[in-house]
Chain A
Amino acid sequence: MSVDLRSKDELRAEKRKNRTGIFLITPGLLVLALFFALPVVILLAMSLYSKPPGAEVGEFVPGLQFSNYATVLSAYWPELLRSFWFALISTVLALLIGFPMAYLVAVRLREKTLLQGILLVLLIAPFFSSFILRTQAWKQILADEGFVAQTLKFIAILPADGHLTATPFAVVAGLTYNFLPFMVLPIYANLGRLDTRLLEASGDLYASPITSFAKITLPMSAPGVFAGTLLTFIPAAGDYVNSALLGNNRDTTMIGQVIDSRFFKIIDYPGAAALSFVLMVSILILVTIYIRRFGTEELM
């Protein structure tokens, strides 16, 4: 039998504290309700609307037309799969490129504060210019008459009539580049707290640098890697700027582009809503599996 031993005053104080908590959390909840929950509900409702026969373009009536989902899924499953595939490749590439960068800045240059500061600014610098502009720059870099394509043609890696823009390669490269800072920064933040004395200790105990890395650095940086992969994968899967600017019309179309064209070109709001909802749910499922499998406690 348990008896609450706290006095009435204590209980009252406890209650007041709870009330303060609720009071403080209310604005946040309201913002979320208004700008996230409500739009999602509207999106879901919209995805079930139907088009009455002979209706004007853009005119739909409320309904429960679940076949909207079947229609868009059967038509656009390749684009959906391709989005996740491209996002996965660019996440892995961003990790392979970003981890050494973060490691260099956060651990190796820890003593040299000036250099560390400069490199950190360079890492964040791309954020100072527009996303679209940076993607356009890639178009110029990879252009047929540009240096990269000409060089690759010269050393015969690229066939004479080949090109780099308007290819899956360009889209994945653009995605990787554009989301790289989202990978580097969380890993950097994490490695910045890495206690290098542990590495010294493992060295003293005759661990090779590789073993030290695998047993200490990598596990310690796992929360950063985890956050970085999520921050890269999720926006990359829904991105449409890279595929629109750097892709072609054959084998690079991503789901964001399809949603854009259903919404703005075909004026099929229910179809666009259904696809958006499918995208949201599939990302949610993938991320849940990922968290279950690899998740660290810090993020749960």
Chain B
Amino acid sequence: MSHSQRRLPQDPQVRALVQAMGQRSFSRRSVLSTAGALGLTGLLAACGTGGSKDTKTEAVVTDLSESDQSVNWANWTLYLDYDDKKKTYPTLDAFTKKTGIKVNYAEDIDGNDSYYGKVQGQLKAGQDIGQDIVTLTDWMAGRLIRQGYAQELNLDNIPNAANLLPSLQNVDFDPGRKHSLTWQTGYAGIAWNKKAFPKGLKSLDDLWDPALKGRVTVLDEMRDTMGLLMLQNGVDVAGKWGESEFGAATDVLRKNIDNGQIRQVKGNSYKQDFISGDAIAGIVWSGDVVQMNFENDDQWEFILPEAGGTLWSDNLMVPVASPHKTNAEKLMDFYYDPAVAAEVAAYVNYICPVVGAKEEMEKIDPELVNNPLIFPTDQDLAKAHVFRSLEPDEESTLATQFQNAIGA
């Protein structure tokens, strides 16, 4: 690489402009027309419009990792070990200390759909979205990979990737794990307030107990709520099923919304309803219950229903046009070190996807070693199912049915 070569901006539009200006035939008019055309494409792309599959942008991006020692990471809230007193993320500091790479960590993601809606236009146009790592759930990760919005990882930079749990090494949305690595894994199951409802829950149908009328919340994440409802109906959510099985489960959901049994269908904010007492029982995510119990003296109990619960993972990916891919890979490698993974797991309380973290956990907090929500038992894993991947057409139809059932 010659040093005299001027570095071009990463944004393809700006780069095209700079290149146009560098040409000999440079004139004000040509620049303006380029700018105009680019502006228009940019606008249309931002609307998420048109373009068939063959127009997919194959972004050729120079990796600036060497010269720019930084990496930007978009993650969900409360999803990384945090030191309340120092207001820092201890493992991130350790990473910066070890590698000299500065991490801009942002709790930017509060829903797969809403995040996709935000960045989809830029990804389609092959632009840098300002993040070098995004953390998205299986099905959304699958969509990004299918659409060519995730870069292929260079595993030479991530030797620790070998520590990935064997059961997660081959997934249908990313065959061979070429574009993604698991961040955390968790269950969707059912939970209840032990004091307000001492009877407890065993199956999903117990949520429809008249004593719980108006005090039940379910998740607005379609695959979790529908997955649990379908499992209760005896459907294997990982296997073959169609619209009729899905429809039967939406009927149950709609019925219990209409008769007031289910108070609200919610995303992350359901936790507040549990804490305020508005909700006594519901469909929830496993790690949330551990965190809520930790902060509110152990009021709730989480189980996988008899008929089974869903198992999901959030995955680290490098979006197209990210200018710090190597740095991103180094960060992934760092978090796949079992000692670091154990430190994160001790805080976030979701299932740790890293082999060897259990042994490391002995040193941090021996009590957590036997916590089945972090290091699951074989019986639990047998009861947890992964919602199968959906075809694009199917995805729209089912999402519409689900949204209609929940009144939006």
Contact = CB atoms under 8 A, between A and B. Distances in A.
B395 A57 contact: yes
B258 A264 contact: no
Contacts of B120: 58
Nearest to A272: B117
B403 A266 contact: yes
Contacts of A165: 278
B403 A250 contact: no
Given A161-B213, A163-B214, A249-B407, A269 B48 contact: yes
B50 A61 contact: yes
Contacts of A253: 407-408
Contacts, number: 109
Interface stretch (B101-109, B176-184, B234-242, B261-269): B261-269
B186 to A, nearest CB: 21
A263 to B, nearest CB: 6
Given A49-B49, A54-B392, A57-B396, A264 B263 contact: no
Contacts of B393: 53-54
B43 A42 contact: yes
A264 B113 contact: yes
Interface string A243-254: 001001110010
Contacts of A248: 257, 263-264, 407
Nearest to B402: A265
Interface in A183-208: none
Interface in A73-117: 75
B275 to A, nearest CB: 10
Interface in A157-178: 161, 163, 165-166
Interface in A116-155: 136, 139-140, 143-146
B111 interface: yes
Contacts of A61: 49-50
Interface string A49-74: 10111111111111000000000000
B277 interface: yes
A250 B392 contact: no
A268 B47 contact: no
Contacts of A267: 113, 116-117, 396, 399
A273 B177 CA distance: 37
B264 A249 contact: yes
Which of B53, B146, B276 has the most chain A CB within a 10 Å cutoff?
B276
Contact of A60 (B50, B147, B214): B50
Interface in B139-169: 143, 146-147
A200 to B, nearest CB: 53
A196 to B, nearest CB: 48
A143 B116 contact: no
Contacts of A42: 43, 47
B51 interface: yes
Contacts of A257: 408
A236 interface: no
Contacts of B276: 139-140, 143-146
Interface of B: 43, 47-53, 111, 113-114, 116-117, 120, 143, 146-147, 213-215, 257-258, 260, 262-265, 269, 272, 276-278, 392-393, 395-396, 399-400, 403-404, 406-408
13 contacts: A49-B49, A54-B392, A57-B395, A139-B272, A143-B277, A145-B277, A146-B276, A165-B278, A248-B264, A249-B408, A260-B408, A265-B408, A269-B48
By Cβ-Cβ distance, the 7 closest A-B pairs, closest first, are A249-B407, A261-B408, A145-B277, A264-B117, A253-B407, A264-B114, A143-B276
Given A56-B147, A163-B278, A248-B263, 10 more contacts: A51-B396, A58-B120, A59-B51, A143-B277, A144-B278, A145-B277, A249-B408, A253-B407, A268-B396, A268-B400
